[in-house]
Amino acid sequence: MAAKFQDQVVLITGAASGIGRATTLKLAALGASLGICDVNSTALNALASELGSALILAQKVDVSSEADVKSFVLAIIDKFGRLDHVFNCAGVNPANIPFQETSLEYWDKQINVNLKGVFLVTRESLPHLKTGASIVTVSSMSGSRGTALQGVYNTTKHGVIGMMKSVALEVGPRGIRANCVAPGYINTPTNSGIVTGGELVEKWAKACALERWGTPEDVADVVIFLFSEEARYVSGSVYEVDGAVRW
């Protein structure tokens, strides 16, 4: 198992924290070569130092920037000579804002990172992917339902599901798969202000049948399954990782 991803190269956005970090650590332990990026260069460099491997390429990238994304993908190809899997994990969490009060600035930030970023990374990666390659994109439990006060965020998360389902149909004949994971309430740094304590923490824990918050590792394990040979006939799918959310 230690070499399950030996000689395979994985691109990971949003790698420096939360689900991206957990997935990076697990893939490194499984022998993968990794191209990792994040907008937080301090956290990214700390992660790269922790991994301490020549099989890591770390680069500060704003996924909403076409130039940044193109540079990153080409750097991966220059270093490793190939690209096998893509994990679109970078994203911006929602704020509760009434739809009629939503600013264009907030709309642009959500769309640029959560939707445009996935588009750019996927588009630039596709020419380098070959038979057996796969793409996994982080959507959300909000990608299949509505949530009051989070209309823009939900738009982006519905959007990436539609994008991946369409990409799966387009690149399937090339032997390339595309899927989504849809996390529920996950204990990540972006949720740290909520999960440290209080009634809301307990309420959200009991909002799913398993009655606990998920961990980044819970999601990372599903991502790694979707990259693996065991998921060779899984494409155009959305894997909900939410402990059977009740609403």
CA distances from 124 to 71, 73, 239 (A): 10, 7, 24
Task: Report the distance separating Cα 216 and Cα 87, nearest Å.
Answer: 14
What are the residue numbers of the active site?
Answer: 153
In this structure, what are the phi and psi dihedrals at residue 106, rounded to the nearest 5 degrees? Answer: -65, -45
Residue 210 CA to residue 241 CA, distance in Å, equals 11
CA atoms within 13 A on the CB side of 82: 13
Closest CA to 31 of 244, 215, 206, 227: 227
76 φψ region: left (φ > 0), alpha (ψ -120 to 50), beta (else): alpha
- Rounded CA-CA distance 176/235 in Å is 8
CB atoms within 10 A of CB 159: 18
